[in-house]
Amino acid sequence: MILVTGGAGYIGSHTCVELIEAGYDVLVLDNLSNSSRESIHRVEQLTGKSISFIEGDVRNGDILNVLFNTHPIDAVIHFAGLKSVGESCENPIFYYENNIECTLKLIQAMQDAGVKNLVFSSSATVYGDPQRLPLTEDMPLSATNPYGRSKLIIEDMLRDLPNADRLNQAAQPWSVTLLRYFNPVGAHKSGLIGEDPNGIPNNLMPFISQTAIGKRECLSVFGGDYDTVDGTGVRDYIHVVDLAKGHVKAVDKLLSENGIDGVQAFNLGTGHGLSVLELVNAFKDCNQVDVPYQISGRRPGDVAACYADVSRARDELGWQAELGVRDMVKDSWRWQSRNPEGYSDIMM
Ligand code: NAD
Ligand code: UFG
């Protein structure tokens, strides 16, 4: 059984579908601070399987201990965390408190229970301002905002665990997989689950979809004077279903005979960069909808371009992205147009 913290969220819900389809039993712990119980119902509808769902906070060590004592948990995927860069700059204490304490409580409970297989949701943000592209996992790490720093601190904390295992000659050592996501977009092809941001979206794809459906008047393209193909920012967009499948491969590897030795990081992206305007134009063309936009000033903290070298994930996890930009924009639009208010209509 796999414990999925934050499993009601955007990436977590898609990963639950893929885990269940791969034959794993799933136990979700989520405090629903940025998600809805409805996403779990939809995953159940999609897979035809019921999910053990616990509404609770990962910072609550008592809940964790009960879960480890009452379920045959083999590995944990740890998605739970806060993820808005802007909000983290306004309220860094909140971000450090939530993201770091969740992980501390989780690894303590895992150690106590003797369950030492962990997949952690890291981010390409740990590469800071890229010195060289494409980004490989061994490049220098840095943080440019409190959200990114929380990911970096957690990665560092996790890197200390195998060192302690060696000193303590632990019979059962830690196996930790750090998955560094590039830019997750898209939704399940059923249109039943997708990204449901609170308030005005910070990220590009939900802003495009909400503009296309008329909830937002106009997309601001942040910067038209970068040294890129058309002057707009370039990112490595990855379909969330591909990303979810990457988690299944990571769990398969952790639980296999020749699992992960200590801590290992993997980039999950496509390896290809796409500019803001290329993504906007693909969305318009594939979905035959209009997306009014205007070029505005650069967003502070943005880098010109960021994309992954994905060879380590391909060679060592046997994973690579299969879905392209057409799938990303079509699936995002299907989710948005079928659920204009996200999950919230159902919650009323
Ligand atoms: P999300 O907000 O949709 O999902 C996170 C889930 O964690 C939510 O369901 C939320 O309710 C839950 N949660 C938060 N704090 C909790 C706590 N203390 N206890 C229990 N549950 C808690 O976000 P997502 O996009 O699915 O991201 C999942 C993970 O991936 C996060 O750790 C995020 O930082 C990381 N990540 C996301 C992106 C991205 O662009 N979406 C990129 C890189 C990394
Ligand atoms: N952009 C716009 N207009 C918008 C929103 C974004 O032009 O309204 C542009 C940005 O300037 C950037 C690109 O679209 O060039 C992508 O921006 P996002 O905000 O969607 O994504 P980021 O690359 O800034 O960051 C995302 C997550 C971070 C994560 C990072 C790497 O938000 O949490 O990917 O994984 F760390």
DSSP E strand boundaries for 91-236: 117-123, 175-181, 183-185, 219-222, 234-235
Give the chain's domain count: 1
Which range marks the domain in which residue 52 is found?
2-340
pLDDT tens by residue, 146-157: 999 999 999 999
Residue bearing the CA closest to ligand 1, atom 3: 9
Domain assignment present for 348: no
| pLDDT band at residue 345 using 50, 70 and 90 as cut-offs | low
Q: Is the CB of 145 under 6 A from ligand 1?
A: no
pLDDT tens by residue, 68-118: 999 999 999 999 999 999 899 999 999 999 999 999 999 999 999 999 999
For residue 306, give the ligand 2 atom closest to its CA.
Answer: 23
Distance 317 CA to ligand 1 centre (A): 23
Domain assignment present for 291: yes
Task: Say whether 147 is catalytic.
Answer: yes
Q: Are 150 and 93 in contact (CB under 8 A)?
A: no
Residue 282 tokens read as: 């693909």
Domain assignment present for 347: no
Q: Is the CB of 39 under 6 A from ligand 1?
A: no
pLDDT tens by residue, 183-212: 999 999 999 999 999 889 999 999 999 999
Domain assignment present for 127: yes
Q: Is the CB of 64 under 6 A from ligand 1?
A: no
Nearest to 84 by CA among 198, 7, 205, 184: 198
Q: Is 181 exposed, middle or buried (0-12, 13-18, 19+ CB in 10 A)?
A: buried
Residue bearing the CA closest to ligand 1, atom 30: 121
- Residue 233: CATH number of its domain: 3.40.50.720
